[in-house]
Amino acid sequence: MTTETNSWGRWGADDERGALNKLTEENVMSAVRAIATGRSYQLAIPIQHAGTPVLDYRGAPHRLTLSSCHDPEMFSGYGAPAGTGANEDILMIACHNGTHMDSLSHVFADDKIYNGFAAETFKPNSGASRAGIEKCGPVIGRAVFLDIAELHGVSSLAADVVITADDIIAAERRQEVEIRPGDIVLLRTGWMEAYFEATSRGETLPFEQPGIGKSASKLLVERDVAVVGSDNWAVESIPSDGGFLEAHIELQVRHGIPFIEGLTLGELSRDKAGYGFFVASPLPITGASGSPVNPVFIA
C-alpha cells in the first residue's frame, strides 16, 4: 500500500506505470491550455557516433548502411532499372544512450524495483517481465521548465553543485511558475551546453555533474510530479547526494517517477520558457529498461 516511504500499491498491486498514471485525459487537456505561442522546441541531442556524451560501458551509437547506390545488384534482382534503388540503415544504440527515458525496471534497491516487484524479474535474455519501457506508453502533459543555472547567474552549474529543494522553490518564484500534481518537471543545469562547448574546443568535461539531491527529490515527491527530466546524464548529481543512485531510488523505485535524461534545454532558457505542452514517446521495446526519446516542448 501507499505509505510515507513509498507509493507501492497506489495504482494497484500489479501497476507497472507508476506516476505516469497521473497523465490523465484531463491532464492532457490542461497541458494544451498551457500553449501560449505555439513555438516548438526539440529537446533531444543528436544520435551520432562521436561528439555526444557516452558512458564507456554503453558504447557510442552506430548508424550503419544496409543498402545504397553502391549496391545496384541488390535492386536489379527485384527488377529495378539502373539508377533506381533505396538507401537503408541499421541503428545500434544502448537504451540509456543520448536523450532517453528510464523505465521503472531500470533501478533496483533492496532487490526490488518499483511497486515491490523483484529485481530478478529482469532476466538476462528476455529483460523486464515487469515495468519494462513498453508499459510506459506516450508521455503527454503539462511541463514546467525551471532554469536552475540561470537562477544561480551562471551558464552552467559547477560540477559539484547539488540542486536543492530551496533551488526549485526559488526558481518557481523567479520564473513565476508553480509545479502542480501530475506535471512534467524539466530542470536545466547547463551541463549539456557546457559539454558541447568543451567538445568543440577539443576538451573533455569531468565525470562529475550537477543534478538534484536528496531534498530536491523529496520535494518533487511531495509535489506529486509525473516525470522529471534534465540536461545531464542522470538527472541526479554525480556523485549522488546521499548514496549511490539515491535520487533514482527515491523517485523511481519508491515512487514510480521516471526520468528523462540527456535533454538539451538551452533554447528554452534563451526564450525564458515557463509552462509548455510536452510530448515524448519511448520506443515500445519489449522488456527494455529504457528507450531513446525525442521530446518536444510547445510553449
Output the nine-digit C-alpha cell for 157: 552549474
Mean pLDDT of 286-293: 98
What pairs with residue 298 in β-bridges? 40, 277
CB atoms within 10 A of CB 200: 9
Whole-prediction pTM: 0.95
Local confidence band at 268 (pLDDT 50, 70, 90 cut-offs): very high
Domain ranges of the chain: 18-57+95-298, 62-92
Summarised one tens digit per residue, pLDDT across range 237-255 is 999 998 999 999 999 999 9
Residue 127 CA to residue 16 CA, distance in Å, equals 14
Bond preceding residue 210 cis, omega within 30 of 0: no
pLDDT digits (tens, 9 = 90+) for 131-149: 999 999 999 999 999 999 9
The radius of gyration of the chain's CA atoms, rounded to the nearest angstrom, is 20
pLDDT of 2 reads 45
**What per-residue confidence (pLDDT) applies to 1?**
34
Q: How many Å apart are CA 208 and CA 211, to the nearest integer?
A: 10
d(CA 156, CA 192): 9
Cβ-contact 218, 185 below 8 angstroms: no
Q: Determine the pLDDT at residue 4.
A: 64
Q: Are 1 and 116 in contact (CB under 8 A)?
A: no
User: Mean of the pLDDT values across residues 14-37?
Assistant: 97
Architecture of the domain defined by 18-57+95-298: 3-Layer(bba) Sandwich (3.50)
CB 28 within 8 A of CB 34: no
